[in-house]
Amino acid sequence: MTMEDRFVGADSPTDLTTSYSDHRACPVRDVLDRLGDKWSTLILVTLSQSPQRFNALTRAVPDISRRMLTETLRHLERDGLIWRKVTPSTPPMVSYGLTPLGTSLMPPLNALIAWAERNQPEIAAVRARFDGPIANG
Amino acid sequence: MTMEDRFVGADSPTDLTTSYSDHRACPVRDVLDRLGDKWSTLILVTLSQSPQRFNALTRAVPDISRRMLTETLRHLERDGLIWRKVTPSTPPMVSYGLTPLGTSLMPPLNALIAWAERNQPEIAAVRARFDGPIANG
DNA sequence: CTGTATCCTAAGCGATACTG
DNA sequence: CAGTATCGCTTAGGATACAG
């Protein structure tokens, strides 16, 4: 085991590609592709603070459209990551929150977010160097 | 601190939305949006096994087109996650591998992949229940 | 072998208007 | 309040052909 192996850790995932006769059938891709859309992560993080009503979510994520909010919530509910509770009052009240499954996703997700936060300055610097030579001549 | 807080961990990320006058300027979104495309994760995992040449990557990820492989590699290089080494032989030989920055991404990324792998059966079951009622009538 | 260039389609997403 | 319906733009991404 090399130093790099130790750093990467022993939790290397199983093969994501050649194990599957149909490559699109990979269960990891199946799950992660849904998380890779524009809003899912943001909604999950918001709901991990506390359950929220629909309108509260539009305020917490100001640049999402109602259409995309509805769609994202439905996808997350379909995957069992969030629950949806309807209180049939007038006006109606609909709340959303993390399920235990959704909660179990937050540690790895927060770790990834923390990595992004920690390393964004370096990434921005590398990008500038990468793009610079062309821009600067 | 609740049990859930402990489970989620103390590394809850900073605000991803309202902290930014322009919501698209969030540095975390800036980094994560690039990782959310169809191929980046797969390429990173593949390269974390060992550095690879272009053609080896097309074999390791059989369902990627050369166009998308080139584009994904460029993006990852631009973000400083992978390096690119050209050996000007004939025919030319180009290798790719993880940079230290890219390597530092693998633990959180592998943790997320491991979560997806662990929970895919449950997610599939929930999906079936969610979709079932309509399909079954 | 390692790409580029071009064309094309499908999907993601936003804007807007409407509804119980 | 919490959505749905419709439209159209923009982008991601696949297929194919060509090139150094």
Place of tokens 């130790």: A6
Q: Please report which residue ranges of chain B form alpha helices under DSSP H.
A: 3-8, 27-35, 40-49, 54-60, 66-78, 100-136
B29 to chain A: which residues are within 8 Å by CB?
42
Bases of chain D within 7 A of a CB of the protein: 1-6, 12-17, 20
B8-42 per-position pLDDT tens digit: 333 455 566 655 656 657 999 999 999 999 999 99
Cα–chain-centroid distance for residue B128? 26
- The pLDDT-based confidence of A132 (bands split at 50, 70, 90) is confident
From B89's Cα to the closest Cα of chain A, the distance in A is 25
A96-116 per-position pLDDT tens digit: 999 999 999 999 999 999 999
Whole-angstrom distance, CA of residue B132 vs CA of residue B109: 32
Q: What pLDDT shows up at residue A135?
A: 55
Q: What pLDDT shows up at residue B15?
A: 65
Whole-angstrom distance, CA of residue B109 vs CA of residue B74: 20
Minimal Cα distance from B116: which residue of A?
A28
A25-72 per-position pLDDT tens digit: 799 999 999 999 999 999 999 999 999 999 999 999 999 999 999 999
SS3 A79: coil
Place of tokens 């590699």: B73
First vs last C-alpha separation in chain B: 45
Element containing residue A69 per DSSP (H, E): helix A66-78
Q: Is A124 on the interface with B (CB under 8 A)?
A: yes
B80 to chain A: which residues are within 8 Å by CB?
122-123, 125-127, 130
- The pLDDT-based confidence of A77 (bands split at 50, 70, 90) is very high
What is the number of alpha carbons within 13 Å of residue B68 lying toward its C-beta? 12
Which candidate, B110, B95, B89, places its Cα nearest to that of B44?
B110
Q: What pLDDT shows up at residue B132?
A: 82
What is the pTM for the complete model shown?
0.87
Of A48, A79, A115, the CB nearest to B105: A115
Q: What pLDDT shows up at residue B25?
A: 75
* A 60-89 → B contacts, CB under 8 A: 60-63, 77-80
Whole-angstrom distance, CA of residue A75 vs CA of residue A88: 22
Q: Do B116 and A45 touch (CB under 8 A)?
A: no
Residues 6+ apart with CB under 8 A from B94: B53, B54, B84, B85, B86, B87
User: Which is more confident, A55 or B133?
Assistant: A55
Tell me what the pLDDT averaged over chain B comes to: 86
- The pLDDT-based confidence of A124 (bands split at 50, 70, 90) is very high
Q: What pLDDT shows up at residue B118?
A: 97
Place of tokens 């923390």: A114
Whole-angstrom distance, CA of residue B102 vs CA of residue B99: 5
Q: Among A12-21, A122-131, B87-96, B106-115, which stretch is predicted with the lowest mean pLDDT?
A: A12-21
Which candidate, A45, A116, A14, places its Cα nearest to that of B42?
A14
Of B105, B116, B127, the CB nearest to A28: B116
